């Protein structure tokens, strides 16, 4: 599948979501994943893996049919497992809810139904299973961070502004989907 094929024939396009709107949706779930990952003190590789898993998922499934923040939460939980940087599911869920609702979890318990947290937990677990089956259990993501820093170290550029620029460009590529290889 080429990038042009993805842009023209994605499931989201078939459901009436144009390319510009889909790009906005991609950036919004990546910002959510970045924020969630930082709050959970996860390494950037885990955060990047979650972004790539979301990109791969939404190449095969429509944004119109799936809650991007639910999928993003499940993708980060799954990425933390696959990158061996585990975080307890309840911690991921609490932090996700606080970011999404922009309120402390203690206030949410007064605003939402009694069993909302258990329902949310079940929905995230179901989303995790959907991601796994949609991606045929292929969770391997090759990140460019390690080879890039290795090359910059060899060139004696490990302590320069070039390193930050290069890493930021790589991260932007992951967010935009440029670094996302289809499996």
Boundaries of every domain in the chain: 3-139
d(CA 3, CA 89): 34
d(CA 103, CA 153): 42
Alpha helices, DSSP H, located in the chain: 3-9, 11-14, 19-39, 44-60, 68-82, 89-101, 105-111, 116-134, 145-154, 161-176
Model pLDDT, residue 76: 98
pTM over 0.85: no
Model pLDDT, residue 175: 62
Class of domain 3-139: mainly alpha
Model pLDDT, residue 179: 45
Q: Check if the beta carbon of residue 83 is closer than 8 Å to that of residue 49.
A: yes
Q: What is the mean pLDDT of each run of 10 residues along the chain (183 residues)?
A: 77 91 92 95 92 94 96 98 95 93 69 82 98 94 73 70 65 58 40
d(CA 171, CA 51): 10
CA 143 to chain centre: 14
Rg over alpha carbons for the chain, rounded to the nearest Å, is 17
Model pLDDT, residue 83: 94
d(CA 6, CA 181): 12
d(CA 112, CA 126): 21
């Amino acid at each position: 599948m080429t990038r042009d094929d993805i842009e023209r024939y994605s499931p989201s396009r078939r459901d009436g979501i144009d390319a510009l709107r889909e790009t906005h949706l991609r950036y919004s779930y990546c910002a959510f994943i970045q924020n969630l990952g930082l709050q959970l003190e996860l390494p950037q590789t885990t955060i990047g893996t979650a972004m790539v898993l979301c990109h791969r998922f939404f190449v095969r499934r429509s944004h119109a049919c799936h809650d991007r923040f639910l999928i993003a939460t499940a993708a980060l939980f799954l990425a933390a497992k696959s990158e061996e940087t585990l975080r307890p599911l309840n911690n991921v869920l609490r932090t996700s809810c606080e970011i999404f609702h922009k309120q402390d979890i203690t206030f949410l318990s007064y605003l939402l139904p009694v069993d909302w947290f258990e329902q949310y937990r079940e929905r995230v677990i179901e989303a995790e299973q959907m991601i796994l089956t949609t991606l045929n259990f292929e969770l391997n993501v090759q990140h460019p961070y390690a080879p890039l820093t290795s090359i910059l170290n060899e060139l004696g550029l490990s302590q320069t502004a070039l390193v930050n620029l290069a890493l930021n460009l790589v991260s932007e590529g992951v967010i935009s989907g440029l670094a996302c290889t289809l499996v």
